[in-house]
Structure 1
């Protein structure tokens, strides 16, 4: 027996066995998988440069860490594709790298070598959860309302990322954000790209996202609408890359700062990865989730050895899923494209953010449809979900949004006399996130 279930998006359906053995249809459209991989790669390719620049503020030379970023992305995508068999991009997390630089290095005064060691230890804690029953206990403890909120929250997070990267919204003079001037060529190019991409999308053109990216990139460069970003990255620097490999410093392993930083990072990695896997592919069977979750942990552990910040499932994977990516072939395609990126780092700067922004905005819009599954009449369900969704967006942090949702859920349920409905694991998760929020006071 088989049943049709949705991913939270109206146009993505997967054929599932009743026992939940597989989320993948027996018929695989290889063309769609490749197009999905291309779309996901271009949507996430900015990580190559941006991650290196953020780590540069921690003291790691960007012209060297860029190779670590690409290498771990290749390993992550190929591993999740061949072993995990899901269309998810595994790469360095954009929120996690900020925690690495601004919390571990800036606030806790670690060297970048010590921060890599803390990342390694946090990854070990992640693996303990991944390879024990803890992962299943934790995921089963999360109520459906918060699961849907995670997907919707990631959606609105992506929308804001797209609006900002596309120059549609900017920091206001009297407010934290406002609509950009219509004299801005970036805004005009993004709006034109959005119209083109939406037209292709609603006409059900296969590869609509990818085609939109290509058309916008050509227009931007031929008409010189947006200046090409300058980059100092070069393949010739790869001979110096070994100088940052394996540079983990455990000399302050038992210091308060090291332990606090490691625990906080582990909390982010465990629950943000769990939330992203279930938010991007909520219909994964237990076996599929465990396999993908464990693969991510192993890749994550290796990332610190390669001299870069930890990996997580990329939220931008949803762009490829929306384009029809259903299997690990999508992730493998992305991994191969990261290989090509070794030789084409400067060429990536020709792709304007205006070309990528519409893809991210539309994908976020589709993910936000999960709000329809929330019971808005039950405020004890809706309020924690609402807090999770808006805090993901306006704190620009998926992990902070998760914390607000998980901490508020048992509180609200207790206020309305439904404390008995909350499982012990859920209390435990809420307690962990409360510790995480309290720890932010000191770090």
Structure 2
């Protein structure tokens, strides 16, 4: 699907794919800022860092790697930034930005050396497909939660929401509408579903719109958080531990997402995309925000027909427009976005058919990776459980020769990552 050979470009389809991907990921503009606010970064300022780095990331990967991938601040990575680096390791947000910068440097060292191929080739085929499937299930749960189809239960961690919920009913309406358009092969089905639901909910005031906390005027104060990296604790245990852990997450989560979102991508384009992300990631800390990764929601644009960098550039242009329309983003209800995310996750989960379900030594590590990604709500934690389990199970069944030296190294690093999580 994403080979090195040139393909005929359908510009209309690429632009529609870009619009769809942007609306699917647009929530990151507000949500990322609110998560970083708990680390001490003013949300009305960090929102501009989120937008600017997304513009740079999408345009750069579209121009230089020519892939339909959205590069933006990572959901999950931003939680690590706030709750691990700042809350657990007691770093200031300025020191956490310095940790992000240092971890990005390690990422770039891997990206521009043979380590990239060594690490990519060391991932067993079953785990490669498990990454795609796990990300798919992860997206499905996000979509169900985002659309209020599932909520936290009184005695369980999730349950079906009450059908009196307008948000739930609108999500189901949009899901049926979008599926109908999708199965009929109507171009722009995802985007049309988002647009129709947004119009209906706002015209009839079905879902009350929350007042926006952000304004364009705050951009004049944005330079206050630019370039505020603090390396004063560079040799402290917390700084070193945070850098190592974050580098592990960024390298393997990005690698997994690129391979998961772009199945069949050739090595040349993979390397370009991987390197572009590393350079953009380096700038994210300078701009006062958390590190960037390829967004799983990029798949919504790909399912809409995005095949080239034009899709990514379109998303970048949308992020430019978002600077001037931050308050207007609150008009798009989550019930309009959730079905797109659910359907995309479902399509990604089809990769489970490539995993050998008969051989339990292949299936169990893959299964563990899939369920842990989804139910821990962390792609990096899912990766860790899968990679640690793989050599362990192979040893148990006497197939130790199937484990390469680099696979052992990756497993050991992820085991160290899990130990670090226990320690902090």
Provide the TM-score with structure 1 as the length reference: 0.95
Question: CA offset at residue 223 of structure 1?
Answer: 1.2
8 Å CA contact retained: 2:2, 2:264: no
Q: 1: distance between equivalents of 2:220 and 2:333?
A: 29
Please, which runs of 5 or more residues in structure 1 have no aligned partner? 1-13
- The 1:15/1:177 distance shift into structure 2, 3 A limit, reads closer
What is the DSSP-based 3-state SS (H/G/I as helix, E as strand, rest coil) of the residue aligned with 2:293? strand
Counterpart residue number, 2:155 = 174
> What is the deviation of 1:283?
1.1
Deviation, structure 1 residue 15: 7.0
Count of residue correspondences: 424
2:276, 2:210 → 1: CA distance?
Answer: 34
Q: Aligned ranges for residues 158-307 of structure 1 at < 5 Å?
A: 158-307=139-288
Q: Contact 2:2/2:266 (CA < 8 Å) preserved in 1?
A: no
Select the residue among 286, 307, 310 that pairs with 1:329. Answer: 310
CA distance in 1, matches of 2:258, 2:211: 34
Please name the residue that 2:61 is paired with.
80
Q: Deviations over 1:318-349 (max 9, x none)?
A: 00000000000000000000000000000000
Structure 2 gaps, min length 5:
none
The CA RMSD measured in Å over matched residues stands at 0.7
Instruction: Using the TM superposition, name which of 118-127 and 283-292 deviates more.
Output: 283-292
Deviation digits for residues 251-302 of structure 1, max 9, x if unmatched?
A: 0001001000110000000000000000000211111111000000000000
Cα drift, residue 442 of structure 1? 1.5
- Does residue 68 (structure 1) correspond to residue 27 (structure 2)? The answer is no
The structure 2 residue matched to 1:45, chosen from 5, 10, 26, is 26
Name the CA distance, whole Å, in 2 between partners of 1:187 and 1:287: 44
Q: Which residue of 2 aligns with 1:153?
A: 134
Contact 2:2-2:265 at 8 Å conserved across structures: no
Provide runs of 4+ in structure 1 moved above 4 Å. none
Is residue 309 from structure 1 mapped to residue 287 from structure 2 by the alignment? no
Contact preservation (8 Å) 2:2, 2:263 = no
- 2:331 is paired with a residue whose SS is coil
Matched, 1:118 2:99: yes
Report the Cα distance in structure 2 between the residues aligned to 1:119 and 1:184, rounded to whole angstroms. Answer: 40
Q: CA deviation at 1:239?
A: 0.8
For residues 341-399 of structure 1, give each alpha carbon's deviation from its aligned partner in whole angstroms, at most 9, with x where no partner exists: 00000000000000000000000000000001111110000000000000000000000
1:141 to 81, 100, 122: 122
1:375 aligns with 2:356: yes
1:345 matches 2:351: no
1:422 aligns with 403
SS in structure 1 opposite 2:76? helix
Separation of aligned partners in 1, 2:232 and 2:208: 46
1:106 aligns with 87
After superposition, the C-alpha distances for 1:164-198 in whole angstroms (9 at most, x for unaligned) are 00000000001000000000111001000101000
1:361 aligned partner? 342
Equivalent position of 1:405 in the other structure: 386
Question: Aligned equivalents of 2:254 and 2:218: distance in 1?
Answer: 32
Deviations 1:186-218 (A, max 9, x none): 100100010100000000000000000000001
Aligned pair partner of 1:29 in 3, 6, 10: 10
Quick one: which of 389, 411, 420 aligns to 2:370? Answer: 389
d(CA) in 2 for partners of 1:412, 1:226: 49
CA–CA separation in structure 2 for the residues paired with 1:229 and 1:144: 45
